[in-house]
Amino acid sequence: MKHATLRKFTDQTATIGIVGLGYVGLPLMLRYTDVGFRVLGFDIDTEKVGKLNRGESYIEHISAAKIAAARQKLFEATTDFTRIAEADAVILCVPTPLNKYREPDMSFVIRTVEAIQPHLKAGQVISLESTTYPGTTEEELLPRVEADGLVVGKDVFLVYSPEREDPGNPNFETRTIPKVIGGHTPACLEVGIALYQPAIDRVVPVSSTKAAELTKLLENIHRAVNIGLVNEMKIVADKMGIDIHEVINAAATKPFGFVPYYPGPGLGGHCIPIDPFYLTWKAREYGVNTRFIELAGEVNSAMPDYVIGKVSLALNEHKRSLKGSKVLVLGIAYKKNVDDMRESPSVEVMERLAKLGADISYSDPHVPVFPNLPGHTHFKLQSEVLTAESIAAFDCIVLTTDHDKFDYPLILQHAALIIDTRGRFPATASNVVKA
C-alpha cells in the first residue's frame, strides 16, 4: 500500500484534498496546482466555496486572478465531505482557537476528523497542519482514523506538519518556507515527505508527530516572549525619556547575538497570542508551570491598557477629556499591509476607548468596512478617508497598525495629537506621543 501511495505523489497523479480554505489552505492549494496536482478543497462555508468556484478571492493578498487560474485548471471547492474518498492526501487546515477559559478549543479539529473519518480509504495520507499541543495527533486523530479498522502505518498514513504562513510577507511564500514534518510511524513519515516534497523546496523531517507539534509552539513562543520583553523595555524606556525604536535599531547593528523585535499595542494574529497557552495548558498535565511564558503573556495582554493610559494622559495635556473626544484609530488589521483581523489588538484598543466614552472612528485601507468579529464589539463603521480636513477634525489619532499605504507626512502635518504605538512618527514632533 505504501509503495502505491508513494508512486502517486512521484508521478503527480495524486489528488490533494485540503480541508479549510483560509489563510493556510488557499496558499497551499495554489502551490499544489502550480506544480500540476489536482486539488479538491473542502470548507463548511458555502459562501466561500461559491466565491472560489467562481474564481473569486476573499483574502486581499491572494489575488482573484490566481484563484481563477487554479479553478480553470485543477482546483474545485466543495462542501460535500463524502468526496474525501476522491483524495489521496487529506490536509487539515482548520482553526485551533482558545475557549473563554484560555484553554485549547479542539472542536474544529475533532469535528473535521469525525466528518472525514467515514470516507477515509486505504492508501490515503492524513496531515494535520493546525497549530496545537504536543500529543494531539496521537490522542485525537489516531483513534478516530483507525475507528473503522484502518491501521495507521499500514493501510493509511498519519502525519503532523505545522503551517508556517506569514500573510503579506513578500519575502517568503509557501514554496520557499521549509516544511517540518513528523510521522506516527516511519512509513507515515516516508509518505508524508513524498506528499510535501513536490510542492516545498525543503522538507525537514523530525522523529515524531509530538516533536513536530512542539516545534511549531516553540517558534511562536519564541516570538511571544521576545515581544513581551521589548514591550516591557518600551515602558522602561518611556519612563527614562528614551525612544525605544532608536535603541532597537542601534542594537540591531550588532551582527551577532541580537535579533530585533519591535513593540506594539499588543499581540495579534492567530498564532502568537494563542499558541503559548496551548503549551502552558498541556505542561500542567506533566506538573510543569511555564512561568516565563505566562509572564510574557501577561505583559503583552496589558499593552492595550498601556496605550489607553497614554491616550488619556496626552488628551489631558491638551485640556481634553477622553470621554467625548473624537479618536481615530489608524490600522485595525493585526499586522501591517494585510486585511487579517484575527486577534487584532487594535480592536481591543477600540473597545476600551469606546467604553471610556470616546467617539471612535477608524481608517484602514485594507479593511473598508468593520467586520463582525465573534466575541468583540461590532462597530458599525466604515474606513475614514484621510484628508487634511478629516485628519484635523479628530482630537486624537492612535496609530495601532502601521500600513505602508498611510500618508504619514500628511497625518503628521495636520493631526492635533498622535499616539504612536509603532514608531512611525518622529519622537521630536510636538504633536507625537510614543506609546
Mean pLDDT of 408-425: 97
Q: What is the pLDDT of residue 99?
A: 81
208-301 matches 2-207 in CATH topology:
yes
Grid-cell match 477559559, residue found? 101
Q: What is the pLDDT of residue 272?
A: 76
Q: What is the pLDDT of residue 169?
A: 82
Are the C-beta atoms of 344 and 375 separated by less than 8 Å? no
Instruction: Tell whether the torsion through CA atoms of 335, 341, 343 and 345 is positive or negative.
Output: positive
Mean pLDDT of 292-321: 95
CA distance 64 to 54: 9
Q: Is the pLDDT of residue 15 over 80?
A: yes
Q: What is the pLDDT of residue 1?
A: 84
Q: What is the pLDDT of residue 103?
A: 84
Q: Which among 265, 402, 264, 426 has a CA at the least distance from the CA of 331?
A: 402
In degrees and rounded to multiples of 5, residue 226 shows phi and psi of: -70, -35
CATH H-level, domain 303-434: superfamily: NAD(P)-binding Rossmann-like Domain (3.40.50.720)
Q: What is the pLDDT of residue 102?
A: 79
Q: In angstroms, what CA-CA distances link 33 with 41, 69, 72, 369?
A: 11, 9, 10, 32
Mean pLDDT of 147-168: 94
55 φ/ψ sector (left φ>0, alpha ψ -120 to 50, else beta):
left
Q: In angstroms, what CA-CA distances link 164 with 93, 143, 248, 270, 271?
A: 11, 26, 26, 12, 10
CA distance 280 to 219: 15
Q: Is the pLDDT of residue 373 over 90?
A: no
Catalytic residue among 93, 188, 271, 396: 271
Q: pLDDT > 70: what percent of the chain? A: 100
Q: Is the pLDDT of residue 368 over 80?
A: yes
DSSP string, 51-76: HHHTT--SSTTS-HHHHHHHHHHTEE
CA distance 279 to 213: 10
Establish whether 396 is a catalytic residue: no
Instruction: State the chain's mean pLDDT as an integer.
Output: 95
Quickly state the pLDDT bin for 53 (edges 50, 70, 90): very high
AA letter at 353 = L
Indicate the domain borders of the chain. 2-207, 208-301, 303-434
CA distance 29 to 38: 9
Q: What is the pLDDT of residue 64?
A: 96
DSSP string, 215-271: HHHHHHHHHHHHHHHHHHHHHHHHHTT--HHHHHHHHTTSSSS-------SS--SSS
Q: Is the pLDDT of residue 269 over 80?
A: no
Q: Is the pLDDT of residue 309 over 90?
A: yes
Are the C-beta atoms of 230 and 262 separated by less than 8 Å? yes
99 compared with 365, residue with greater pLDDT: 365
Q: What is the pLDDT of residue 91?
A: 98
Which of 118-127, 164-173, 288-297, 405-414 is predicted with the least confidence, judged by mean pLDDT? 164-173
CA distance 351 to 371: 14
Q: Is the pLDDT of residue 394 over 90?
A: yes
Longest dimension (CA), the chain: 76
**Beta carbons within 8 Å of 279's beta carbon, 6+ residues apart:** 133, 134, 214, 217, 221, 290, 293
Judging by DSSP bridges, how do beta strands 432-434 and 418-420 pair with one another?
parallel
Q: Is the pLDDT of residue 260 over 90?
A: yes
C-alpha cell at 283: 505542561
> Tell me, what DSSP letter sits at residue 383?
P
Mean pLDDT of 335-349: 93
Convert the pLDDT of each residue in 75-113 to its tens digit.
Answer: 999 999 999 999 999 999 999 988 877 788 999 999 999
Distance between start and end Cα atoms, the chain: 59
Convert the pLDDT of each residue in 186-234 to its tens digit.
Answer: 999 999 999 999 999 999 999 999 999 999 999 999 999 999 999 999 9
Q: What is the pLDDT of residue 139?
A: 97
Q: Which CATH number fits domain 208-301: 3.40.50.720, 1.10.10.60, 3.30.70.1560, 3.40.50.2300?
A: 3.40.50.720
Q: Is the pLDDT of residue 420 over 80?
A: yes
CA atoms within 13 A on the CB side of 131: 25
Q: Which CATH number fits domain 2-207: 2.60.120.200, 3.10.20.30, 3.40.50.880, 3.40.50.720?
A: 3.40.50.720
Which of 120-134, 259-273, 375-389 is predicted with the least confidence, judged by mean pLDDT? 259-273
| C-alpha R_g of the chain | 24
Provide the 10 A C-beta neighbour count for residue 120.
Answer: 22
**Beta carbons within 8 Å of 369's beta carbon, 6+ residues apart:** 381, 382, 383
The model carries a pTM of 0.92
